[in-house]
Amino acid sequence: MGAPLSQQESHSYPPEPHHSPDNTYGSPISGSCITDDVNDFRYRLRELETVMLGPDSDILDSYDSTFPNHIASPVMDNWRQMMEAIPRGDLKQVLIACAKAVSDNDLLTAQWLMSELRQMVSVSGEPIQRLGAYMLEGLVARLASSGSSIYKSLRCKEPASADLLSYMHILYEVCPYFKFGYMSANGAIAEAMKDENRVHIIDFQIAQGSQWITLIQAFAARPGGPPHIRITGIDDSTSAYARGGELNIVGQRLSRLAESFKVPFEFHAAAISGCDVQVGNLRIQPGEALAVNFAFMLHHMPDESVSTENHRDRLLRLVKSLSPKVVTLVEQESNTNTAPFFPRFVEALNYYTAMFESIDATLPRELKERINVEQHCLARDVVNIIACEGTERVERHELLGKWKSRFRMAGFSPYPLSCVVNATIKTLLENYCNKYRLEERDGALYLGWMDRDLVASCAWR
């Protein structure tokens, strides 16, 4: 387990992260990952940078004249834009230019821009600088073809479960994304189960179990007494995207809570990957009203673009066969599933910029806890989106329109939103920055930051 970044270590990336012992993520990108060809490129880069940044103001014009006219103009326009963006401090444009160079396999340009980016990013700077640090790490990993190894290294260097739970709790408290998703899902479940005496909730990625605290409390206050609640918590601690909930700890925590509120309660731990779930793992019992919860989980399931087994749609068909009273969906409103690398990079940059800006509105930039939250709760996802492909890329978000199509194909129909729940969420947002916005649209709820939708929630039956 590596120690979290300290404030002193976090001001900027070292000049050569491949060889530095202080590399943010340890040393997954070692010298052995970089070939002699790339070392040669780095030497050529230094030469090129010396020329291009030198005192001769006519160098671009003379360089331009060496190209045929039909090639020179686009090439030199790109170079001029990059040369203007760097002194201007336009980090976003330099990141995009670097990603384009990586996408085009233009190693010369990519390595040069990476060297410039290392001087511009900082995990204790402005939101775009902090995000840029992790996006740069993803670009370096992709260029070195080590996306998979760096992603796994990030997981190996995660803190102990108790510390990770603490970081996730901080994120839960300072940003309303999780609370919004959990409240909207719980509202639909409470409404569907208002007349039921035995309730079985299947949570396909229970994580820390935080979602069920308020629902257990709500059931405890139900007129006529609470129902008997059984929660099946699914989480695979060995999976690439596990968040260290430790099912036994989660079950004990929820059991103690239910006991304190005098709610009859059972917890069934299913330590299994969503890809491997079968009906037999869920212990369905007659006489129980069933609710199924997909909160920030389905985007981890490979679809038809990754595997012929298409577990994303298989799970929906499996759940439909159980005849649940309600199925809840909460997902990031982002398109990173089938998009090619470059548009996926731009989408991730825009999405996580809004996310980091919202964190910046609550947590001071120099606060060590903020650095830990961003590094351990968000950075690994960013690196995975940028650096990995195929089955190694597990962060595969889709827009709600695509999720709706999948649910309808599986035989589901929309479950109506609750006006009471919507009003409650609006009240919740009053405790946060006024740049958050809530919108009800086409039978779903969207939570956004300024003009960017970040999380969408809806229910099905």
Report the pLDDT value the prediction gives residue 3, as an integer from 0 to 100: 36
Q: DSSP string covering 393-409, please?
A: -------HHHHHHHHHH
Q: Output Rg (C-alpha) for the chain, integer angstroms.
A: 24
The answer to whether 326 and 188 have CB atoms below 8 angstroms apart is yes
Report the pLDDT value the prediction gives residue 152, as an integer from 0 to 100: 54
At a CB cut-off of 8 Å and minimum separation 6, what does 72 contact? 64, 65, 66
Phi, psi angle pair for 403, to nearest 5°: -60, -40
Tokens of 314: 């298989």
Q: What is the C-alpha to C-alpha distance for residues 323 and 337, in angstroms, rounded to an integer?
A: 28
The answer to whether 460 and 411 have CB atoms below 8 angstroms apart is no
Q: What is the C-alpha to C-alpha distance for residues 19 and 42, in angstroms, rounded to an integer?
A: 14
First vs last C-alpha separation in the chain: 43
Q: What is the C-alpha to C-alpha distance for residues 429 and 325, in angstroms, rounded to an integer?
A: 29
Q: Give, for all 461 residues of the chain, the pLDDT tens digit.
A: 333 333 333 333 333 333 333 333 333 333 334 344 445 544 544 544 444 444 443 433 443 444 445 444 555 566 666 666 676 779 999 999 999 999 999 999 999 999 999 999 999 999 999 999 999 999 999 988 765 565 555 544 556 666 777 888 888 888 999 999 999 999 999 999 999 999 999 999 998 899 999 999 999 999 999 999 999 999 876 554 455 457 888 999 999 999 999 999 999 999 999 999 999 999 999 999 999 999 999 999 999 999 999 999 999 999 999 999 999 999 999 999 999 999 999 999 999 999 999 999 988 888 888 898 898 889 989 999 999 999 999 999 999 999 999 999 999 999 998 888 889 999 999 999 999 999 999 999 999 999 999 999 999 99
CA nearest 361: which of 127, 120, 90? 127
Instruction: Please calculate the CA angle 241-243-246 and round it to the nearest 5 degrees.
Output: 125
Q: What is the C-alpha to C-alpha distance for residues 9 and 13, in angstroms, rounded to an integer?
A: 9
Q: What per-residue string of b and e applies to 428-444 under the rule 16 or more CB within 10 Å gives b?
A: bbeebeeebebeeeeeb
Report the pLDDT value the prediction gives residue 149, as an integer from 0 to 100: 62
Report the pLDDT value the prediction gives residue 53, as an integer from 0 to 100: 44
SS3 category, 441: strand
The β-bridge relationship of strands 444-449 and 452-460 is antiparallel
Domain ranges of the chain: 31-157+339-392, 163-333+397-460
Find the DSSP H helices in 27-68.
36-52, 59-64
Q: What is the C-alpha to C-alpha distance for residues 378 and 395, in angstroms, rounded to an integer?
A: 11
- DSSP-derived letter for residue 417 is P
- Please tell me the total number of residues recorded for the chain in this structure: 461
Q: Which fold has domain 163-333+397-460?
A: Rossmann fold (3.40.50)
SS3 category, 283: coil
